[in-house]
Amino acid sequence: MDMFNLLSRGASINRRGKDAKTFDVLMGKSATSNIAEEKKKKADLARTLDFFNETPVQEVQDKRENDENDDENNDDDSDDDDSDSDSEDKKAPLVISTKQQAEEQRQRLDTKVRGDDLPLPIGSFQDLRTRFNLHKHLLRNLERQNFQRPTPIQAEAMPILLHGRDLVACAPTGSGKTLAFAVPIVQALKQHEGGGIRCLVVTPTKELATQIYGQFVKLSQGRDLHICVLNKSQAAKFANETNKRKFDIMISTPLRLLALTNQGKLDLSRVKHVVLDEVDKLFEQGFIQQTDSILEQCTAPDVQRAMFSATIPSGVEEIAGNIMVSPVRVIVGKKEGANTQIEQRIVYTGSEHGKLIEMRRMLQEGELEPPVIVFLQSVARAKALYHELIYDGVNVDVIHGERTQRQRDRVIERFKNGDIWVLICTDVLARGIDFRGVSLVINYDVPESAQAYVHRIGRTGRAGRTGKAITFYTKEDAVGIKAVVNVMKQSGSDVPEWMLSMRKATNDEKKRLRFKPVERDEISTVAKRKRDNEKDKKKNKKKKSDGKDGKDGNNDNDGTDETMKKKRTGEKSKESEK
């Protein structure tokens, strides 16, 4: 205290005002509370910077437990919620050994299973080891990726596939469907054999194929399995006979795969496992003929087929019933419902210009908390909005079908790294791509169907996290918005009563929307400025040229007449030479 008085002599210190905290620390008071406050600030900062939640879950939990031990007086409501969820997990059995336990788990996880001679679900990954002798490398790889406990779809799908059954699985976006089929396949294939492709995974997009490839590589560490994603460079190598027998697992889009098989460069007769991911898209017009041709070429008598998606229409189930043998049907939650972890909202903007106004309002008021994904219905509109937001100084990029694969991969990588805060895209990224930390999805244009809506907003709220989804609509969307309203109601979101009474779209209107999207006005302000500038430039040029004409008078006409005469005489001389 004497030292403090000596050092502070002649200084003005407000012991109860702005200098109170500093004074308390120097006097040894409230040290614990200050330390706790600092830790909270650091944790908040880390959480803010960790856009995509790359910090392992276990590490975060350990850190939180240490902080709680340091500060015994810190009682928070969120800790009570965590303890409640932990107690529920402890009550759930780790091993499912009876039908009664299976039914209780299915009711608790809102899972519906239908089929003959149903296998029991699993209660934990250790349960897989007990019942199916899960390889130790596979279990270790699951632990390395911090998979603590199977999700509802994994709990049902894994034992079904390990029993060799055909499967149709429908589960919300971000619920771990890739892991649900990847684990049984890696377990079943064991090691490299060198006879050709034994597992084929078909997806509608290159980005999703690349993502699934990455998951298989992580799971198969420590096992001798050869895996490839069929891209352009890889396809060129299949002219070599050794490459035909090099891989055990192949992930591909339909068209590139058929290009190889039609040329006789790839044989699918030894394929034992076929997975159709995002199967509703693969059975849409434009894909269904390709998918059917691929399935016809998988001629092994004991081939196992599995279909996964977040939305499975009744038409897809009918097709599955025709091509599968005694399939098991698993539905988690609602059949075409959105993830309940996503807060959904609809905003009426009146016009296309109103959408821009709303975007800029959200930007000014800090509602566009990165990372954000914005979906539009066409490439031209995606480009236009990109230029608008660039003009506003937003850290933004765009991805669509006209960009090269290298450009698309680079944009996705930068978005995942947090270098890009707002990503504008078409439906090319609406399916399967796992951006775990996306906080907000904006449907700038109303999607063409309920299925498209579910997949779009599924880029947020993944792996148990919460998310937000906002859909802009105008008077032109009177037909399409009803499908969005129905999904919102089904997933438990608040919907105004007048929206529920809106007219439902007819089947003809739905088909028309799929093949001919709503005609919309241009995304305008930057484009309008450019057009105005170009008009001004043309006017100025015209004025300048008119001024020159006025100065030269009739001389220009005389000159042109003389040049015409010269041309005619030149032509005549050429004819005479001939």
Prediction pTM value? 0.71
Q: Could you say which of 515, 535, 551 is where a domain stops?
A: 515
Q: Is residue 186 part of a domain?
A: yes
Residue-number span of the structural domain to which 437 is assigned: 342-515
Mean per-residue pLDDT pooled into runs of 10, the chain (578 residues): 52 53 52 53 50 45 48 46 50 85 94 95 92 91 91 96 96 92 95 90 93 95 92 82 82 94 91 95 89 94 95 87 93 83 92 92 91 94 93 91 87 90 89 81 93 90 88 90 90 84 78 78 67 67 63 47 48 46
Q: Residue 275 carries which DSSP code?
A: E
Answer yes or no: do 260 and 298 share one domain: yes
Number of domains in the chain: 2
pLDDT at 92: 73
Query: Residue 160: what pLDDT?
Result: 97
Residues 440 and 373 occupy one common structural domain = yes
**68, part of any domain:** no
Residue that terminates a domain, selected from 314, 332, 350: 332
Same domain, 123 and 219: yes
Same-domain status, 302 and 263: yes
> Which of 96, 101, 165, 115 has the alpha carbon at shortest distance from 330?
115
Give pLDDT, residue 22: 55
Query: What CATH code is carried by the domain that includes residue 234?
Result: 3.40.50.300
CA distance 340 to 58: 24
Q: Are residues 263 and 376 in the same domain?
A: no
Rounded Cα distance between 329 and 504, Å, is: 29
Examine residue 216 and state whether it is found in any structural domain, yes or no.
Answer: yes
Residue 534 lies in a domain: no
pLDDT of residue 314: 84
Q: What pLDDT sits at residue 165? A: 96
Q: According to the model, what pLDDT value does residue 576 have?
A: 46
- Token readout for 280 is 């509703």
Q: Nearest 5 degrees, angle CA 121-CA 92-CA 333?
A: 60
As beta bridge partners, residue 425 has 375, 399
Does 537 map to a domain? no
- Residue 380 and residue 299 share a domain: no
Q: Clarify whether residues 350 and 219 are in a common domain.
A: no
The answer to whether the CB of 394 falls within 8 A of the CB of 421 is yes
Domain boundary among 291, 307, 332: 332
Give domain status of residue 89, yes or no. no
Q: Is residue 563 part of a domain?
A: no
If asked whether residues 346 and 328 sit together in one domain, one would say no
Would 180 be classed as within a structural domain? yes
Looking at the DSSP bridge assignments, the partners of residue 233 are: none
The whole-angstrom separation of Cα 155 and Cα 125 is 9
Domain check: are 327 and 358 in the same one?
no
- Residue 166 is given by DSSP the state -
State the number of CA atoms in the 13 A half-sphere of 53 facing the CB. Answer: 17
pLDDT of residue 512: 76
Query: Same domain for 281 and 390?
Result: no
Query: Are residue 313 and residue 439 in the same domain, yes or no?
Result: no
Task: Tell me, yes or no, whether 382 and 327 share the same domain.
Answer: no
Q: What is the DSSP letter of 56?
A: -
Angle in degrees, CA 196, 198, 201, rounded to 5: 120
